[in-house]
Structure 1
Amino acid sequence: MRSAPSVRTNTNVFWLALLPALVVAAVWWPSLSASFQFDDWNVIVNEPRVHSLAAWWQSMPGIRPLLKLSYALNHTVDSNPIGFRVVNILIHALSAALVGSLLRTRGLRAGLSEATASQAALLAALLFALHPVQTEAVTYISGRSSSLAACFCLLSLYCWVRSEDSERATAWLASCCGCFALAVATKETALVLPFALLLYSADRPRSQTLKRLMPLILLMAVMLVVALSLPTYRRLLGVSLDTRTIGENLLTQSRALFYLAGQLIRITNGNADPQLPVVSSLDWLSATLCVAWAGIVVWALLNVRKKPVSSFAVLWFLLWLAPTNSLLPRLDVANDRQLYLAMIGPAWWLAVRATSWHPSRALLRPALIASVLIALSWATHQRNQIYQTEVAFWEDTAARNPENSRAANNLGMAYAIECRFQDAEAEFERAVGLSPDDYYSRINLILLRKGLLPGVDRKRCRHATYN
């Protein structure tokens, strides 16, 4: 006979879900007044296919259908950015709640005591909820592609866990597959989810886990075939392969992974458009990093059962970065939002270490944990302020990337829209100087001087003269 869970266990699970969600609401709510930014204009504001449900339906079949449906639903209810951002915050709150629940179970299966497993899971969920690197997937509306897909992945993992020891295993496994399909329909990088399920269940008999994974593996194969049948995905794949060779990309990503790992520590270094170097030939730094990353992966694979927390942290981090930061080249080498799911592994490792200190240091633990959480909350609040206006957003981005012509051009556009024409001219000229082949900046400079720059409200700017 299966014993009923204790009242204390139910209480732990309740707070593991509720507290991170409440923290998300409290910390992110002030960001609701922020404006649309960057890709928001292309994929939401100026994209008629997401302005109504009918328009969305007529645009199908297409890529990321569920993501676009969420935009269409938002636009139907309220086209202002506040409605979109409310949904993003709710998605993040749900994900944080799921992280706490899932990591508690993983901790118990890794041999942690119930108290340590619960405390570590709660701390990891709070680190996930509060880290400023998450602003690019939450405050940045277009970052929903990462956060919504991640939420469905976590829901799928939750169903997977429930299916392992439930009398309704088939129903839970079917729900797992359904959430997997929804995740891929939001963002195609979710296709790696079956490998994450295999990693999560590393303590279980491998043959049994692989047998249970077969429906998801078959579903993954079907979705790959469907994706490759769509012309848009084939075109994007061609563009990716033409961007740089796979060898060049591996060298480039060896440095990008090091940068992304550092972003988890540099909490005041949020960067919307980092200009990371493209490595076209083997050098000592890239070679060293490639060997180091390969060695870390081998060590983690060999210690999946011996060191379940450390190996899980490493493999989870690298697994969720693999679709964007390994073989297939991208125009942008790396972005902070790629860390949204990946950071769960390092966060859990840190949380387990912090909650497992020797009793002689136990008095320092609450103060240290509180300091870290307060610092993350402050950094997230500060980062969210940058999203308030386009000028603030692009001034920060241009200051962090002084050699980035795209940032200079976009800052020029933000200045022009605010009728700051002389500042706009200076930024367009700087963008042309940084990248003479950047025809966007050249055209914008010419149109600005002629008073024909699109997006500028001439009535509002009638008292601002261009000299």
Structure 2
Amino acid sequence: MRGSPHYHNNNNNPIQNQQYHQYHHGCGSGSGFGRRARPRHGWPEAAVAVYAAVAVAVTVCYWNGLRGDFVHDDIPAVAMNADVLGTGPLARVATNDFWGTPLSDPNSHKSYRPLTTLTFRLNHYVFGLQPVWFHVVNVILHGLCSVLFARLCISVAGLEHKYGLLAGIVFAVHPIHTEAVTGIVGRADVLACLFFLLSFLTYHDTRWKRRERVLLSCTFGALSMLAKETGLMVLLVNLAYDIYSSWGHIKKSLVEHKQTEEYNSFTRRVPKTIAATVALLTFRLYMLQGSLPKFTEPDNPAAFHDSSRVRFLSYSYVAAFNLWLMLCPSALSHDWQMNSLPLVTSLYDIRNIGTCVAAAFLLCITCKILSDMDTQKHSPQVLAALLLIIPYIPASNLLVTVGFVVAERVLYIPSMGLILLCVYGLQTIQNHKKSSNWVVMTTKFFVGFTLFVFVARTVLRNSDWMSRPTIIKAGLKTLPHNAKMHYNWANYQRDVGDTQTAVNHYREALRLWPSYASAHNNLGTLMERSRDAEHHFLAAIRYSPGHVNAHYNLGQVYRLMNRTKDAVAMLERCLMLNNGYTAAYLLLAKLHTGSQTGRLLKHVAAYQPKHPEHQARYARWLRDNRRVAEALIYYKRAMAVNMEHRESVLGLARVLRDRGQKSRVYRLITWWQSTRRRHLVPGGGRIVFAGDLYVKGWQLYKQGQTTAPLPSAGEPPPRRRNADGKMSMCNGVQLSHVMIPGK
């Protein structure tokens, strides 16, 4: 048994001996620890049946989730992330956070998950930006986690095969996992769990016989951490369970001063694991780049409360609520920010009863662990407690403040502990000699009913994740008092053109959370009266002084109200907050004249060299100011980026015409049209023929002969003031068309 981390038989108790043999030679089926273990040769067939059943359960539950679109956090983390789309260097994955922002940026979320980002990038490289394949990979990973969890329950926890199968199936179909599996960004939690289980099994499962088992386990632990930060906790779970399993040898060595081979093996494993844990933790702290993530009060209201008592009561209640969600996942939501769970401000709050019940439950488990150190009759219960408690610590606000109230996907790993605990309790009841047939039949019915409900709830929950409107409507149904839900629904209604519904929900969001700066900003963009819009933008700035969009939008309002000096001041303040805010530079260029306009346009062209419209805009200013040679350079730069940029072609043609090179103008237009021969007419579905090219080229040439200036890209039509003082577009377009709403 040299090199085995534990399970060395060190007592004469017959039950202990039977348990020891089950750990090493396979667990009996339907017999409990008291029966003779099944022979080793029967194990592979049983294992295949167990794992196949778990895989089928995963497929049945998540088949309908494969049709889902990118929703919620999937959009910024995957669909708009340059590290995923491959538009940025591969090396940046190692220095950017999960959302594609450099870790050195003060506004970075500091979530360092490069392994998960690499899997997204590979997904995109192989299949493109098709959501179905991202979902397929997530489901496959979830299936692997479910299979490995079933293996853990059988080979390490010592459950019978049928109860290990049950544990794997419950894990596979549990509704609390839908956010982690059907939500694409939940891959971080699923991937971390996969390596978490591999690390634990490598360390503790004696069937994994490798000389450098601890090193391999620590490697899997590092991969788990690189998938998501909480994966590092597997090394602590390994240590804790190793100490429990080896306690007999440790105690004997300390009391009798006799160092057994198992004790010596234990002393060799522990320093390696501790050293790996310290090294990985040091690396993770280094990647913070000297600063912690910045969260706001809506993200985690309890963290910003002045009273330590309120913080303690609220955090404790959130932990109890998470435990309840794992037991009864009826109320599920993709976003639990703001006032989803009101703060517990009084000792007389009835919710404290639930907190006390959860605390008593955890206290009983802790006492059981301590009392079982010597006898070790209930190893599954101890392992369940470790899996439930230790992985939850990073999300508990105990070590660091987190940026959420409740996040269902962070319960992916801790749920294994609760499932193992419940299934072990079921096995104990079923195998107890005094259990009557009525009790046995009742428990079987309860298990079957629970599985049916879990499967149905998971399938229904998958349908909630189908699209943006379905996930928001589901959230509104679960948490109608959540201001963020109303804000998101208002954003969606604004995007589909239902302005009045959007206004109503923005106002409801502000009623629930009056200091909601983004709601004020977005509501301001939908106001018809400039005074109303000004009121909301000022409120947004008051509650969030760094709200860049609100400063820009207020500058737009002041410009429309002919308060040019105030508009310039607000836009300059906007650029102080974000010196890369292109829209603010362009608006300032309209408010200034002469060389200042040129300086601003030149800055935008230099800052955005891959955007032909900015090159063409500056080139047009140069041409209007008779700097034709320089204009020619910038028009050529624009066409180098996009040969089909119409404004650049027209501008270049006019510059050549101004220089008297009309033959070159015609050749330019003909050449430009020839490059489009293989292109389909937009919406027409037919090839552009040579005759069409000639006609289009000649029309474009004649258009280039005119002296009328080109309209600036993105410039809104002129506005007029109505009799009632409202600002409106000359063509009836709303004020929102020149404002920038938040996400």
Give the TM-score band, short-chain normalised. 0.7 to 0.9
> Distance between the aligned counterparts of 2:136 and 2:473, measured in 1?
25
Alignment of 1:352-367 (within 5 A): 352-356=424-428, 357=430, 358=435, 360-361=437-438, 362-367=440-445
> Distance between the aligned counterparts of 1:90 and 1:291, measured in 2?
36
Larger gyration radius, structure 1 or structure 2: 2
- Which of 87, 94, 116 does residue 67 from structure 1 map onto? 116
Deviation (angstroms), 1:393: 0.8
> Distance between the aligned counterparts of 1:152 and 1:424, measured in 2?
44
- In the superposition, relative to structure 1, how do residues 157 and 422 fare at CA in structure 2: closer, same or farther (>3 Å)? same
The reply on whether 1:235 has 2:315 as its aligned counterpart is no
- In the superposition, relative to structure 1, how do residues 343 and 59 fare at CA in structure 2: closer, same or farther (>3 Å)? closer
> Distance between the aligned counterparts of 2:454 and 2:305, measured in 1?
36
- In the superposition, relative to structure 1, how do residues 58 and 322 fare at CA in structure 2: closer, same or farther (>3 Å)? closer
The reply on whether 1:277 has 2:277 as its aligned counterpart is no
The reply on whether 1:390 has 2:458 as its aligned counterpart is no
Aligned to 2:170: 127
- Alignment deviations for residues 32-83 of structure 1 (CA, whole Å, 9 cap, x no partner): 1112221112211222222118534234224211121122112222212212
Deviation (angstroms), 1:277: 3.2
> Distance between the aligned counterparts of 1:339 and 1:394, measured in 2?
21
The aligned amino acid for 2:273 is: L
The aligned amino acid for 1:119 is: K
Aligned to 2:501: 423
Kept after mapping to 1: 8 A contact 2:179/2:408: yes
Deviation (angstroms), 1:288: 4.2
> Distance between the aligned counterparts of 1:11 and 1:43, measured in 2?
42
The reply on whether 1:223 has 2:280 as its aligned counterpart is yes
The aligned amino acid for 2:371 is: N
Highest RCO, 1 vs 2 (Cα 8 Å, sep ≥ 6): 1
| Partner SS state of residue 169, structure 1 | coil
Aligned to 2:409: 337
The reply on whether 1:320 has 2:391 as its aligned counterpart is yes
Kept after mapping to 2: 8 A contact 1:20/1:125: yes
> Distance between the aligned counterparts of 1:214 and 1:9, measured in 2?
34
Deviation (angstroms), 1:155: 1.2
Runs of at least 5 residues in structure 1 that lack an aligned partner in the other structure: 109-115, 455-464
Deviation (angstroms), 1:355: 3.5
TM-score relative to the length of structure 1: 0.86
Kept after mapping to 2: 8 A contact 1:56/1:68: no
| Partner SS state of residue 323, structure 1 | helix
Deviation (angstroms), 1:466: 8.2
The aligned amino acid for 1:139 is: T
- In the superposition, relative to structure 1, how do residues 198 and 247 fare at CA in structure 2: closer, same or farther (>3 Å)? farther
Kept after mapping to 2: 8 A contact 1:394/1:410: yes
> Distance between the aligned counterparts of 1:384 and 1:288, measured in 2?
33
Deviation (angstroms), 1:289: 6.4
Alignment of 1:73-88 (within 5 A): 73-77=122-126, 78-88=128-138
- In the superposition, relative to structure 1, how do residues 282 and 169 fare at CA in structure 2: closer, same or farther (>3 Å)? farther
The aligned amino acid for 2:246 is: R
Q: CA RMSD in A?
A: 3.3
Aligned to 1:461: none
Kept after mapping to 2: 8 A contact 1:244/1:329: no
The reply on whether 1:302 has 2:370 as its aligned counterpart is yes
- Which of 120, 130, 141 does residue 91 from structure 1 map onto? 141
Deviation (angstroms), 1:439: 1.6
Kept after mapping to 1: 8 A contact 2:67/2:466: yes
> Distance between the aligned counterparts of 2:465 and 2:472, measured in 1?
9
> Distance between the aligned counterparts of 1:200 and 1:58, measured in 2?
37
Aligned to 2:485: 407
- In the superposition, relative to structure 1, how do residues 242 and 395 fare at CA in structure 2: closer, same or farther (>3 Å)? closer
- In the superposition, relative to structure 1, how do residues 329 and 410 fare at CA in structure 2: closer, same or farther (>3 Å)? same
- Alignment deviations for residues 239-260 of structure 1 (CA, whole Å, 9 cap, x no partner): 8997568876543221011111
Aligned to 1:18: 52
The aligned amino acid for 2:211 is: A
The aligned amino acid for 1:343 is: S
The reply on whether 1:254 has 2:316 as its aligned counterpart is yes
Deviation (angstroms), 1:184: 0.6
Kept after mapping to 1: 8 A contact 2:153/2:420: yes
The aligned amino acid for 2:214 is: L
> Distance between the aligned counterparts of 1:217 and 1:312, measured in 2?
20
Determine which structure has the larger helix proportion and give its number.
1
Aligned to 1:37: 71
- In the superposition, relative to structure 1, how do residues 237 and 195 fare at CA in structure 2: closer, same or farther (>3 Å)? farther
Deviation (angstroms), 1:153: 0.3
Kept after mapping to 1: 8 A contact 2:191/2:224: yes
Aligned to 1:174: 215
> Distance between the aligned counterparts of 1:252 and 1:321, measured in 2?
16
- In the superposition, relative to structure 1, how do residues 119 and 252 fare at CA in structure 2: closer, same or farther (>3 Å)? same
Aligned to 1:204: 246
- Alignment deviations for residues 11-47 of structure 1 (CA, whole Å, 9 cap, x no partner): 1222222221221122101111112221112211222
Runs of at least 5 residues in structure 2 that lack an aligned partner in the other structure: 2-23, 27-38, 97-111, 251-262, 534-548, 554-732, 736-743
TM-score relative to the length of structure 2: 0.55
Aligned to 1:457: none
- In the superposition, relative to structure 1, how do residues 55 and 252 fare at CA in structure 2: closer, same or farther (>3 Å)? farther
Deviation (angstroms), 1:309: 3.2
Kept after mapping to 1: 8 A contact 2:93/2:117: no
> Distance between the aligned counterparts of 1:429 and 1:159, measured in 2?
55
Deviation (angstroms), 1:315: 3.3
> Distance between the aligned counterparts of 2:119 and 2:304, measured in 1?
30
Kept after mapping to 2: 8 A contact 1:408/1:428: yes
Length, aligned pairs only: 449
- Which of 493, 511, 524 does residue 446 from structure 1 map onto? 524
Deviation (angstroms), 1:273: 2.0
**Identity %, equivalent residues:** 22
Return 129-138 or 353-362, whichever deviates more.
353-362
- Which of 205, 209, 214 does residue 271 from structure 2 map onto? 214
Deviation (angstroms), 1:166: 5.6
The aligned amino acid for 2:342 is: P
The reply on whether 1:157 has 2:229 as its aligned counterpart is no
